[in-house]
Amino acid sequence: MSIASFGRNTSKLKALFGIRARLVLLALILVVPLMLDRVRLLEDSRSRQMMQAANELSELAKHTADAQREIISTVQAVVKSSAYIYAAASQQGRGCAVMRASLRVDLPWIRNLSIIGPEGKIDCSTKQSIVGFDLGDRDYVLKARELHDFVLSDFIPSRITSLPTLIAAYPVSAVDGNQESVVIAAIDLKWMSQLLVNRGGRSGVSVVLVDGAGTILASPPESMNLIGQKLKDTSLLEAVTLREINLDREYGSISFESADGEKKAVSFARVTGTKARMIVSINQSLMLGDINRDIRTAYIQLAIVVLATLLGAWFAGERLIIRPLRAMTDTANRFGRGEFSARASNASLPIEFIPLARAFDTMASQLSEREREMAAANDRLTVIASLDLVSGLANRRGFQSRLEFEWMKALQSDSRLSLLMIDVDHFKLFNDTYGHPEGDACLSRVGEALSTIA
């Protein structure tokens, strides 16, 4: 790169960072940090809100799962006690009667309590109309007999009532090894859903209890129509299961994006001892709608403030600094052209420029005075250079200048030019005899005489 091109680039760079650009930069330094700090506070608030919502959803999932577990624990206690009563009374041949007489079945979450005999048919039930139904092929019956322990089924449509239900089963063989009967209790899913009333607490919160296959077992009353349906997005259950395996615990939280692109914050908790899970989710756009709107507003305000600052600094610099400087520059240029009558103070200037304008005016007055003095001095010099000071007549230079003028005039007008030469006789003798002062006086009188006749 040559020195000249480097100098041009440097000049362009200096022009770019002129006084207006510096004013704009200063304004941005003052304003932008404040707006960015506000945006940062809103971003931090959003992060805290997301963390708080995640904690709330996690606690909600665990508490709701615990509430469902209490129901299942109560049902488990009922079927176990019924199995003990039935086993003891069966030795006297009164198992069914004693069980029905000794058990209160007004528990709202139990629809009915039944005994399935060795052949798989209902031998005894608190609901007489279902006695004789064959349920021996049901998985929960087979599994209870196989494990000799409490079993809770997944969601099933009741073969007897055609209503969606959960079945709790407990084999009497767990009490008396000689017995092959199984005590079953039908759980009312609507009652389980009643426990979810007001569990959301936030707009857009979804709370559902699902079984191991992803079928909804319970939901808040406003969405009871979902009971018995599969989760809308089955991949959610897969994500929950995978997270559960990775965490090696029965509760946790995940961020999930559904098939339609909807981002959700999801918390889950397993109902201990079962395959059922309480899943609580919320649409992140709904959860963070207000704070996101505030952040967008803050960014828009930042853009508006920056734009207003740029325009304000630009126009303020133009009106308060650039325009006065331009006016004073124009005045200085007029001074350079000799227009000393121009006055900088006549322009409309900010108060800070008034002293400088007055200084310009004072300088103009002084320059004008010096110009007049110089003109007078030049006139005097011209006279001195053209006239003889003693005689008052033109000296040799004056004579030469006038001769050239008349000569050119004669040439142009094609006229004749006459030259008359006058000699002062015996002047040297006079000057030597009477002295130089008298000689000068003599020359002066001769000049006056010639002036009167020339």
Q: Is residue 428 part of a domain?
A: yes
Domain that holds residue 413: 387-453
Q: Which residues, other chains included, contact 430 with Cβ-Cβ below 8 Å and sequence gap of 6+? A: 438, 439, 442
Of 37-46, 187-196, 269-278, where does mean pLDDT reach its minimum? 187-196
Query: What pLDDT score does 171 carry?
Result: 92
The answer to whether residue 7 scores a pLDDT higher than 60 is: no
288: left (phi > 0), else alpha (psi -120 to 50), else beta? Answer: alpha
Q: Measured between alpha carbons, how far apart are the two ends of the chain, in Å?
A: 75
Residue 332, SS3?
helix
Tens-place pLDDT, residues 371-387: 888 888 887 777 776 66
* Rg (alpha carbons) of the chain, rounded to whole number: 58
CB burial string 168-197: b at 16+ within 10 A, e below: bbbbbbbbbeebebbbbbbbbbbebbebbe
Q: Is residue 410 part of a domain?
A: yes
Query: Comparing 131 with 317, which gets the higher pLDDT?
Result: 131
User: Which runs of consecutive H residues, i.e. helices, occur in 162-288?
Assistant: 189-194, 235-247, 284-287
Query: What pLDDT score does 204 carry?
Result: 66
CATH number at residue 183: 3.30.450.20
Residue at a domain's end among 267, 287, 307: 287
Q: Is residue 56 part of a domain?
A: yes
Query: What pLDDT score does 387 carry?
Result: 67
Of 10-14, 90-94, 174-178, where does mean pLDDT reach its minimum? 10-14
- CA dist list (Å): 130 to 112, 114, 123, 152: 10, 9, 9, 20
Distance, in Å, from the CA atom of 311 to the CA atom of 325, rounded to the nearest integer, reads 20
pLDDT range class, residue 17, cuts 50, 70, 90: low
pLDDT range class, residue 368, cuts 50, 70, 90: confident
pLDDT range class, residue 16, cuts 50, 70, 90: low
Structure tokens at 202: 């936030």
The answer to whether residue 103 scores a pLDDT higher than 80 is: no
Mean pLDDT of 169-183: 86
| Domains: count for the chain | 2
Query: What pLDDT score does 302 carry?
Result: 77
Shared-domain flag, residues 233 and 88 = yes
Distance, in Å, from the CA atom of 134 to the CA atom of 157, rounded to the nearest integer, reads 15
Residue at a domain's end among 287, 317, 350: 287
Distance, in Å, from the CA atom of 274 to the CA atom of 69, rounded to the nearest integer, reads 9
281 closest CA partner among 264, 269, 259: 264
Q: Is residue 353 part of a domain?
A: no
The answer to whether residue 9 scores a pLDDT higher than 60 is: no
Shared-domain flag, residues 207 and 90 = yes
Tens-place pLDDT, residues 296-342: 887 888 788 778 877 877 777 777 777 777 777 777 787 777 776 76
Residue 422 CA, chain-centre distance (Å), reads 103
Distance, in Å, from the CA atom of 148 to the CA atom of 179, rounded to the nearest integer, reads 11
Structure tokens at 368: 């004008």
pTM for the full predicted model: 0.51
